[in-house]
Amino acid sequence: MSARQFIGTKAKEMRKKSAQTQKRLSEITGLPQSTLSEIENGRFTGSLDIMERYLDALGLQLTAVEKVQRLPDWDELDTLFEDK
C-alpha cells in the first residue's frame, strides 16, 4: 500500500468514525468534495497545504518517518508480477 493510499484510508476511517460526510467536510474546509474523494482514494497529487487542511479537520496530521524497506516473502512473489 502506498503512502497516499494509507493516508486516504486513514482519513476515510476518521471521517466515518466522526459521522461526517464529504459534503459537510467540504463546507468546513472550503475544499471541493472531489478533492476530498481523491485524498480518500489515494489519488490526490496536489499540495501539502490542501492535504493538511483536510487531515486537520479530521484530527489527523502528516508525520515523516523513516522508510522501512522490506523484501517480499516467497509467497508474495507471484502476486508482484500479476497484471491488474
Residue-wise pLDDT for 13-55, tens only, equals 999 999 999 999 999 999 999 999 999 999 999 999 999 999 9
Ramachandran sector of residue 46 (left: φ over 0; alpha: ψ -120 to 50; beta: rest): beta
Query: What are 44's three cell numbers?
Result: 490526490
Around 23, how many Cα atoms within 13 Å sit in the side-chain half-sphere? 0
How far apart CA 34 and CA 22 sit, in angstroms, is 9
Does position 62 have pLDDT exceeding 70, yes or no?
yes
Domain 1-84 has CATH 1.10.260.40: yes
- Cell 484510508 belongs to 9
**C-alpha 31: how far from its chain's center?**
15
